[in-house]
Amino acid sequence: MQFRTLMKSAVFAGLFAIAAPAASSLAADLTVGANIGNVPWEFQDESGKTVGFEIDLVTEVASRLGKTVAFENIPFNGLFSAVQSGRIDIAVSSITITQKRLESVTFAQPYYDSDQSLTVTAASGLKSTDDMKGKVIGVDTGSTGDMWATANTDAKGFAEIRRYEGLAPAMLDLAAGRIDGYVSDIPALLYYTKDKPNLAVVERIETGEKYSMMFAKDAPLAGEVNDVLTALKKEGVIASLHEKWFGATPEDTTSTVKVLDMPKLD
């Protein structure tokens, strides 16, 4: 997704400086599962607070519903069973809406458009996935990056796919040379590598992904949250969050701004 030039706005200044609530998940009205460490969506800052785009967003949604929220750290691949079993009420972690996932869970309308990407070390000289023949690729377990790499292993000639539970351990292995490239969501990698000259995002892998909050199949809460997301888009709140976390105003045509229907199976 391409961003327009940053236009600063003070309308929502300070509104979203929110950390994870101190209340335990047993005391909160809503328990939200998240793969903490998924920068800039949900992660811990230097003081140990849980922060991020989706932390701000789901906290504001809960506030609009008159509910308290607590966050539970769950590996990405475990979010699906956690929401299906009722262990958590909502799952976030830049989760892509897919037709396959809609068979077993429900999503509210999307709020972010994305693609996958290839990240390598700057010294490697690798420029694209076409250079990855015979190389080791890292992905997040069960992610759309995992799905893409698995589907393209033969076409691209990957020697091996190694699976990780989050960006941080994958980046450690990439920097150490234990993997040759990492395929994951492009906004997270652009954010992560912007102050790391030893790493480079060298290719956008167009997948047309859209992110949203995930719920148990046909959960009434999904419709309630969807209505709040509509209001937040109309008020410009989600666009303001985008400016805060990505330093740019989102395009009017993206799901960050545009009100959309709840996703349904084709």
As a whole number, the mean pLDDT across the chain is: 90
> What is the distance of C-alpha 265 from the center of its chain?
22
Give the residue range(s) of CATH 3.40.190.10 domains in the chain: 30-113+210-246, 114-208
Element (H, E) at 215: strand 199-216
pLDDT for 15 beyond 50: no
Q: Side chain identity at 19, as an amino acid letter?
A: A
Beta bridge partners of 163: 139
pLDDT tens-digit map of 151-175 = 999 999 999 999 999 899 999 999 9
pLDDT for 22 beyond 50: no
Contact of 202 with 119, CB cutoff 8 Å: yes
pLDDT for 66 beyond 80: yes
- Note the pLDDT of residue 25: 52
Q: Which CATH architecture has domain 30-113+210-246?
A: 3-Layer(aba) Sandwich (3.40)
pLDDT for 9 beyond 60: no
| Encoded tokens for 248 | 């740019």
pLDDT for 113 beyond 70: yes
pLDDT for 223 beyond 80: yes
Q: Which CATH architecture has domain 114-208?
A: 3-Layer(aba) Sandwich (3.40)
pLDDT for 3 beyond 90: no
pLDDT for 185 beyond 80: yes
Contact of 164 with 146, CB cutoff 8 Å: no
- Note the pLDDT of residue 131: 98
CA neighbours within 13 Å on the CB side: how many for 53?
27
Contact of 239 with 265, CB cutoff 8 Å: no
- Note the pLDDT of residue 255: 96
pLDDT for 253 beyond 80: yes
- Note the pLDDT of residue 26: 61
Structure-token match 């609530």, residue found: 21
CA distances from 155 to 158, 183, 230 (A): 8, 15, 41
Average of pLDDT values for 120-135? 97
- Note the pLDDT of residue 2: 36
Average of pLDDT values for 6-35? 57
Average of pLDDT values for 91-99? 96
pLDDT for 198 beyond 80: yes
pLDDT for 20 beyond 80: no
pLDDT for 130 beyond 70: yes
Structure-token match 């960050």, residue found: 256
